[in-house]
Amino acid sequence: MPNLEKLKRMSNVKTFKENEYLFREGDPGEDMFIVLSGKVAIYIKSEDNLQIKVSEMVAGDFLGEMSLLEGEPRSATAVAADYTITLAVNRGNFEAFVLEQPGMAFKLLKGLSSRIRSLNQTLSRLKKAEQCTLESHQPASAPAKAVRPQTPDNLEVLKKLLYHEGHKKYDREAPETDFFYTYEKKVSCPICGKEFELLSISQSKLRLKAVDADFRHNYEEFEPLWYEIWVCPGCYFAGHAYEYDKPQEHLHKVFAEKTKTVKDKLNFKFSQPRTLDEVFTAYYLALHSAKACNADPLKSAKLWLQLSWLYKDLDDEEMYNSAAALAFDRYYDALYGSSQSKMSVEQDQQCCLILGELYLRKNNKQEAIRHYHSAIRRSGGSSAYNKQAQDRIYYVKHEMK
């Protein structure tokens, strides 16, 4: 049995939150980790760049020793599956670590042998699965495509119930790699209280590429818009993740009455992988939920803006312009309407910046610049938003001549 006190003297205690990386494939390997508590999932990349989970480490297991021994980059990716506590042994302490704990050398060899055997079994299963996939795609035996559980069974009916005029059917699926950036999470509906599991975004895994002037965040290999709206399978309340942290059971009866027609005629459930049609239905359900709950204009403004991004990705110019126009109306109402939203200074700045961008889409440079100026606060505001507004003013005046 290893002496923990001696181990602690030759190592560092490192903790990791759920879904936090211990290391990524290709990183330099300077540490070996011993799991004290929690769980760590190990992933490798397939030839077609998919992340495949090959094992899970628990208390008493170790990982990262191959890179430490060989001096080579990490051959796999390790992600904390729960809150995890580890002991990290670095390259400089490794020899002393083995000499002080000779039993650990045998444990390392035994673990390596077991891991190689497990990896071979995983590769064997993958080869069999690949062979089955190839056989299933032969023309003579190709199976019929499975019917998806969601189904806007009748697009025309859904157009009348939910979709905006001009919305079409879009036959796209989420890429298989999305599983690496999502995880199953149990939540409770803020309206009806029903508990259910859904796919949530692993924020720690996202790699930000750029932020657009209208605040759209762009990430490498992943589109979070497909997962940002959660839908309760009980009452069909739909909204962003932060809305699920605010119980509103007092609205249940009114919400059920206002949404009865939609619930009676819509059989909604996300597929695996989910489709873009389901994503659009979720956003339109969120708009319907916002109306039923008498949400302030900022709620529907954000939803229409996000819908405009989705339509833009599809090169659907007509629906992109329609959604952007509806977003503009809601943001304008939030800032100037009779039912003005109670906004913080930062929210007010962001609203002005977005309206500036939406005015630019209308080719109204004068109003765009006016709203950028309105976004600048000399005190109490966000310095980042001040800088963004100044940059946009310069851009419109000098770059768009």
What confidence category does residue 131 fall into, taking pLDDT thresholds of 50, 70 and 90?
low
399/392 Cα distance (integer angstroms): 10
pLDDT reading at 212 higher than 50 = yes
Side-chain-side CA neighbours of residue 393 (13 Å): 15
271/6 Cα distance (integer angstroms): 51
CB-based contact 184:196 (threshold 8 Å): no
- What rounded mean pLDDT belongs to the chain? 82
141/237 Cα distance (integer angstroms): 41
What confidence category does residue 149 fall into, taking pLDDT thresholds of 50, 70 and 90?
very low
CB-based contact 313:172 (threshold 8 Å): no
Q: What is the pLDDT of residue 264?
A: 87
Q: Lowest-pLDDT range, 13-27, 53-67, 354-368?
A: 53-67
Helices 345-361 and 317-336: crossing angle in degrees, nearest 10, is 140
pTM over 0.85: no
Q: What is the pLDDT of residue 174?
A: 93
Question: CA separation (Å) from 308 to 100, 167, 283, 328, 332?
Answer: 62, 12, 11, 11, 16
Radius of gyration of the chain (CA): 26
Domains and CATH numbers, the chain: 4-129 (2.60.120.10), 155-342 (no CATH)
pLDDT per position as a tens digit, 105-119: 556 655 555 555 555
Portion of the chain with pLDDT greater than 70, in percent: 79
How many Cβ atoms from other residues are within 10 Å of residue 374's Cβ?
Answer: 17
pLDDT per position as a tens digit, 287-310: 999 999 999 899 999 999 999 999
Q: Lowest-pLDDT range, 15-29, 139-153, 161-175?
A: 139-153
Q: What is the pLDDT of residue 306?
A: 98
In sequence order, which residues have a C-beta less than 8 Å from that of residue 334 and are 6 or more positions away?
296, 297, 298, 301, 340, 341, 343, 351
Q: What is the pLDDT of residue 199?
A: 92
356/372 Cα distance (integer angstroms): 6
60 SS3 class: coil
Side-chain-side CA neighbours of residue 162 (13 Å): 29
Question: CA separation (Å) from 222 to 17, 124, 206?
Answer: 21, 29, 8
345 SS3 class: helix
pLDDT reading at 144 higher than 50 = no
CB-based contact 51:64 (threshold 8 Å): no
CB-based contact 10:193 (threshold 8 Å): no
| Average pLDDT estimate for 352-371 | 95
**Residue 306 burial by Cβ neighbours in a 10 Å radius (0-12, 13-18, 19+):** buried
Question: CA separation (Å) from 52 to 122, 221, 369?
Answer: 10, 16, 49
Helices 345-361 and 297-313: crossing angle in degrees, nearest 10, is 40
